[in-house]
Every structure is written in structure tokens, then in C-alpha cells.
């Protein structure tokens, strides 16, 4: 399956007719910090439009397919593809794998603007187009929700593009983020993954990086690969957390809400009461759902170095102390 069937939506007339981009709700946080869990439930509970696998894979044809009323066929094709792979979930967690699985808008920016984040020139305009398309496709939704861990530290830039946007920052213990990211690296480095490989289609640089990671795993073996990835990921998590902390300090206090991952997992109803009040939106129904949070088994490679890694990763306790509820 190709990631873009026609590219019909590049037609200037269709793009010119997009509604004014709404003020989105951005779910912010590092990869494996809990952003997907919050994003999925946020869209469900408030009936917000969101980016899913279908919107990423078929982005260039979304308006065209809506006009032809053949979206259902494309969604069924994706579901059949995942069914043939035998993967009922994303495999790195318990999130169900389907055309509606929540995804990052960064995959769209990578194809439209050559960047996974809004850092590159033209990416903000591309993101405004994403928000406009979602508003056009789901006119009955009370708003649009967006997430992209590659932009976890770019709240101020996003606020420039969307001055009335609201931000939900997910805060999780850094060592747990690192542990989950390493599990991801071990899974993706072991071989093909139906979802990741589909998302990387049409992004040559991303495919090259992933191919290199898998080649490294084959070349040096599992144990050495794990050591190398742990060192790289620890530096990356430390740098991104520091950058996110700094960016939050430059955000207007009324533009964001801090959400503690542990409290969200333990008491989702209470967390969503605070989110409901912050966003000024009404829940579709009383919150009665337990969130499908992944297991927290700590990998031996991390357990053996935990104290040293925690010193390196830094601390988010100050922010977590300010988190709702």
C-alpha cells in the first residue's frame, strides 16, 4: 500500500477553501511519556477531531476522498493490512492498531515541509493546513487535538502559529520515559514493524535512520546494540526534558495545564475533571474508563545503572508538584 494514492488535495482550489484553522488543543510531552494515552482519551471524551493513522497515510487525499465518499474503503484497506500482519496492537504498548490509532502530526510535516517538527521554515504553515483539514473533515467536532513529541519543547512557536491554543503537558518520571524508549528501540531494531514502516513510507531520511538502526542491531548483536541505544537515548531524553522545562517557563501561565502521568493513570476521572475545567469543554459522558497504560517492568540494563541514569536525566519533580489535579 502506497502512503499517497493520488495527491488530489494539492489542488489549490481545495486548499483555498479550508476553514480558518481553529485553536487546537496540543498534547505535549516526550516520546513514551504518555502522550498517546492522553491524546486518545482526550479526543474520545470531548469528541475532538484528531490525527490518526488514516489521516497520516492518506493526508494528500483526505478532502478528495470525502467528496467521493470513499473514505470507508481506504480505512478498511488499512485495517486489512494490519490484520494480515497479525498485530492487534502497536506491540510496544496496548494501544489498538487500526486506521483510527492516534498518531503524530510530525509524520505529515515530514512529507509536507521536510521536518518532523515546526522548527523548519514552512512547517508552521503546513501545520495550520493540518488543523484546517481536520476542521473541514469533522465540522461537528468542538475542536481539534494535535500531538507531536518532536515539538515537546516548542510550545512558544506553536503559540505563535495558534495564539488561542491550549496545551496539556504530560509529565512522567524521566527514568520511566527512558525505559520505555529503550523498549521501543529494542522492538523496532529487531525487524519490520507494520505501523512504523507504513508511517516511514515517503520519508527517505526516516527510512534511512531506521534501516541503519536495524543494521546496527544485526551487526553488533542484541547486547551491544542495547548498550549503544541506552547511551544515545539517555542523552536525548536529558536534552529534550531540559528543553521542555525551559519552554514551559516561557509559556503564559493561562495557556497550559500540567498533567502528571501517574495521577492520570491512577485517577483518570479526577484528571479529566481538571482538563474539562481548563479547556472549558464538556465531557461526552461521566468518565468511567480505566486507561490502558503499559506495563512498567524495568529493563535490566536500566535497573543496573538506575542511580547514575537518574542523575543524568535530571528532575521534573518541581513541575509535577504543580500538576493538576
Q: Indicate whether 13 pLDDT > 60.
A: no
pLDDT tens digits for 164-175?
999 999 999 999
- Asked if residue 101 is part of any domain, the answer here is yes
Model pLDDT, residue 94: 83
Q: How confident is the model at residue 14 (pLDDT cuts 50, 70, 90)?
A: low
Q: Which domain holds residue 49?
A: 8-321
- Asked if residue 216 is part of any domain, the answer here is yes
Model pLDDT, residue 21: 75
Output the pTM of the full model. 0.94
Q: How confident is the model at residue 10 (pLDDT cuts 50, 70, 90)?
A: low
- Asked if residue 262 is part of any domain, the answer here is yes
Give percent above pLDDT 90 in the chain.
Answer: 78
Model pLDDT, residue 284: 77
* DSSP assignment of 253-285: GGGEEEEEHHHHHH-HHHHHHHHHHHHT---SS
CA distance 270 to 278: 13
Model pLDDT, residue 29: 98
pLDDT tens digits for 254-280?
999 999 999 999 999 999 999 999 999
Count the domains in the chain. 1
Model pLDDT, residue 6: 53
pLDDT tens digits for 88-133?
899 888 889 999 999 999 999 999 999 999 998 899 999 999 999 9
Q: Indicate whether 159 pLDDT > 80.
A: yes
Beta bridge partner(s), residue 141: none
- Asked if residue 284 is part of any domain, the answer here is yes
Average pLDDT for the chain: 91
- Asked if residue 28 is part of any domain, the answer here is yes
SS3 assignment, position 34: coil
Q: Indicate whether 4 pLDDT > 70.
A: no
Q: Is 86 exposed, middle or buried (0-12, 13-18, 19+ CB in 10 A)?
A: exposed
Model pLDDT, residue 77: 93
* DSSP assignment of 79-129: HHHHHHHT-SB-SSSSPBPSTT-B--THHHHHHHTS-SSTTSTTHHHHHHH
Q: How confident is the model at residue 15 (pLDDT cuts 50, 70, 90)?
A: low
- 102: domain CATH number is 3.40.50
Model pLDDT, residue 17: 76
Q: Indicate whether 82 pLDDT > 90.
A: yes
Contacts of 296 (CB under 8 A, 6+ apart): 176, 179
Grid coordinates of 19: 476553514
CA distance 237 to 63: 37
Model pLDDT, residue 64: 86
Q: Indicate whether 289 pLDDT > 80.
A: no
Mean pLDDT of 135-141: 91
The radius of gyration of the chain from alpha carbons, rounded to an integer in Å, stands at 19
Model pLDDT, residue 12: 55
Mean pLDDT of 39-54: 95
- Asked if residue 144 is part of any domain, the answer here is yes
Give percent above pLDDT 70 in the chain.
Answer: 95
Model pLDDT, residue 1: 47
- Asked if residue 3 is part of any domain, the answer here is no
- Asked if residue 1 is part of any domain, the answer here is no
Mean pLDDT of 285-297: 75
Beta strands in the chain, from DSSP E residues, in sequence order: 25-28, 145-147, 166-171, 256-260
Q: Indicate whether 5 pLDDT > 90.
A: no
Amino acid at each position: 500500500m502506497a502512503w499517497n494514492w493520488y495527491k488530489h488535495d494539492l489542488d489549490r482550489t481545495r486548499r483555498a477553501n479550508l476553514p480558518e484553522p481553529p485553536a487546537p488543543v496540543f498534547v505535549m510531552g516526550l516520546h513514551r511519556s504518555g502522550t498517546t494515552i492522553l491524546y486518545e482519551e482526550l479526543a474520545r471524551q470531548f469528541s475532538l477531531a484528531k490525527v490518526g493513522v488514516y489521516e497520516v497515510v492518506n493526508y494528500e487525499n483526505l478532502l478528495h476522498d470525502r467528496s467521493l465518499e470513499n473514505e470507508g474503503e481506504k480505512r478498511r484497506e488499512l485495517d486489512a493490512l494490519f490484520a494480515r500482519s497479525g498485530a492487534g496492537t502497536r506491540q510496544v504498548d496496548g494501544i489498538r492498531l487500526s486506521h483510527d490509532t492516534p498518531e503524530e502530526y510530525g509524520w505529515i510535516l515530514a512529507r509536507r515541509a521536510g521536518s518532523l517538527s515546526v522548527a523548519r521554515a514552512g512547517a508552521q504553515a503546513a501545520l495550520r493546513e493540518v488543523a484546517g483539514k481536520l476542521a473541514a473533515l469533522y465540522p461537528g467536532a468542538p475542536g481539534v487535538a494535535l500531538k507531536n513529541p518532536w515539538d515537546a519543547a516548542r510550545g512558544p512557536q506553536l503559540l505563535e502559529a495558534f495564539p488561542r491554543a491550549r496545551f496539556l503537558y504530560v509529565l512522567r518520571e524521566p527514568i520511566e520515559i527512558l525505559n520505555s524508549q529503550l523498549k521501543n528501540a529494542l522492538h523496532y531494531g529487531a525487524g519490520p514493524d507494520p505501523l512504523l514502516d507504513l508511517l516511514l513510507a515517503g520519508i527517505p531520511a526516516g527510512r534511512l535512520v531506521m534501516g541503519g538502526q536495524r543494521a546496527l542491531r544485526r551487526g553488533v548483536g542484541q547486547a551491544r546494540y542495547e548498550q549503544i541505544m541506552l547511551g544515545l537515548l539517555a542523552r536525548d531524553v536529558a536534552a529534550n526534558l531540559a528543553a521542555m522545562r525551559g519552554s514551559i517557563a516561557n509559556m503564559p501561565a493561562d495557556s497550559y495545564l500540567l498533567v502528571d502521568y501517574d495521577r492520570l493513570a491512577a485517577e483518570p476521572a479526577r484528571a479529566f475533571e481538571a482538563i474539562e475545567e481548563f479547556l472549558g469543554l464538556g465531557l461526552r459522558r461521566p468518565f468511567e474508563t480505566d486507561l490502558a497504560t503499559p506495563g512498567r517492568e524495568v529493563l535490566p540494563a536500566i535497573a543496573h545503572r538506575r542511580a547514575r541514569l537518574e542523575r543524568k536525566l535530571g528532575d521534573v519533580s518541581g513541575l509535577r508538584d504543580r500538576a493538576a489535579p
